[in-house]
Amino acid sequence: MPKVITNISYFRDNDLKKNQTITIEGAIISNIKDSESRETGNSLVIPGFIDLQIYGAGERLFSADPTVESLTIMEDDLLKKGTTGFLACMATNSAEVFNECIKAAKEHRSTAKNCLGLHLEGPFLNPKRLGAHVPAFVRKASLDEIKKLIEFGDGVIKMMTIAPELQDDVVIEYLLNNGVVVSLGHSNATFDEATAAYNKGIQTTTHLFNAMSPIHHREPGIPTAVFSHDKAMASIIADGQHLDFEVVKFAQKLLKERLFLITDAVTACSTGPYQHIEKDNKYVMPDGTLSGSSLTMLAAVKNCVSHCNISLNDAIKMGTLYPAKLIGIENLTANIEIGHQANLLVLDEELNLKEVIFKGETI
């Protein structure tokens, strides 16, 4: 029996199409047409969110409990919040913990719902820009180590954050040749070093402005290199804690479709090297260092609209289409089109979540 959503609005490219009916058969959008009723509804349908950097959800921090059960709990919690695709992120840690996380992801792969794989944020970072990362585990990568890591990952490692100024070109080339999205982050690269990294093929930048060389009028740093490049993308944390909203606003004006949202969200944890304490709508380490956010993707979109003067359509794309393009799934789920997978969110006039549809089924 087809699922039919009537009298809704949705964005087609840059146009808001009103009074529409969407028909779903199985997991696929089978038809979109004008509604027969003249009554205009107040619901907006958007694609499901794609979060490429999240550490924990459902009170589970994946690196502290690297199991299939943790990934399943994260999946269910995030689906209810409208995230229909995500990369489980792991911060710099021991080789043993990394291996356990990768092992769990491989075991979970055959039954995974919205977990798309792993994002390794570290350990190949610059010790001068660690943020909350544990310095004892930080090191330069060797080609042999990277080969073993990617081979052991067997395809579940989708993204990796590195400080390229400290890595050999053969390491970066190997990652790119093996389908890993490489992100420049936790880096002290100069403008020239960052530009060279993007020119070598590094596609994106991890949480723009956080844990990186800043903009200075005589040392333009990584953000200026991103702004000046014609292809480099960047993620950003729009929680008002990691960045002032004015910074998000001007970054979006410069980068447009090259800027996308992440939550960088963690959950409370009192064990292991990453002990996150919730404080004033953010998380900090026991020493007070800012760590992850308490953000959801929907809250990030709302913040962009309410505080950053970003249009609703652009804000939605920052949480859906742009991250999907980066990891190559935009033709599957990031647009509302006939033939695309029916991962859809129904929002009310206040942008509150009314319904989550995942692969054609209401969650």
Residue 292, classed as helix, strand or coil, is strand
175 vs 118: CA distance, rounded Å: 14
Contacts of 294 (CB under 8 A, 6+ apart): 239, 265, 278, 281, 282, 283
Cα→Cα distances 246→220, 241, 299, Å = 19, 12, 17
Q: Which of 51, 65, 264, 314 is catalytic?
A: 264
Contacts of 267 (CB under 8 A, 6+ apart): 55, 56, 57, 58, 59, 60, 61, 276
The length of the chain in residues reads: 363
35 vs 259: CA distance, rounded Å: 34
- The angle that helices 245-255 and 221-228 make with each other, rounded to 10 degrees, is 30
2 close to 22: Cβ distance less than 8 angstroms: no
Angle at 284 between CA 283 and CA 286, to 5 degrees: 140
To the query of whether residue 15 is one of the catalytic residues in this protein, the response is: no
149 close to 208: Cβ distance less than 8 angstroms: no
81 vs 347: CA distance, rounded Å: 12
Query: What does R_g of the chain's alpha carbons equal in angstroms?
Result: 20
Query: Pick from 101, 121, 99, 105: which is nearest to 54 by CA?
Result: 121
**Residues recognised as catalytic:** 264
